[in-house]
Amino acid sequence: MRFIISIILTAGLSYVLCLFLPWWSIALAAFVVSAFIPQRGFASFISGFIALFLLWGFLSWTINAANHEILAHRVSMLVLKNDSTVVLILMTSLIGAIVAGFAAWAGSFAHKKLK
């Protein structure tokens, strides 16, 4: 149950913080949630990873659909040298997921130290 609550809180807090702060505020959200909801290290990493993978995947997919894939085609040609919007969305999701996963892992260690 803590695992699912951690995923929901991390995704929600990350979304709200990214409305007002830079993109790396996802790390702050994952750290705070993981520091206040006690989990083992790997479980907190996975919960942060899943939360941001799903959040950024959904957000980048909706942004991509809203502009009829025009921007994603151009960016994928610049970055990937390939016209693949799906790979670009997966890469975006993976970057956010790794950042949040490691921040959540650090938050679980901080919880153990402060305990």
- The per-residue pLDDT for 76 is 87
pLDDT band, very low/low/confident/very high, at 38 (cuts 50, 70, 90):
confident
- The per-residue pLDDT for 54 is 97
pLDDT at 49 over 80: yes
pLDDT at 115 over 80: no
Neighbours of 16 (CB within 10 A): 12
Cα–Cα distance for residue pair 5/7, rounded to 1 Å: 5
pLDDT band, very low/low/confident/very high, at 114 (cuts 50, 70, 90):
confident
pLDDT band, very low/low/confident/very high, at 80 (cuts 50, 70, 90):
confident
What separation in angstroms does the CA of 103 have from each of 30, 53, 61, 78, 110? 6, 14, 24, 29, 10
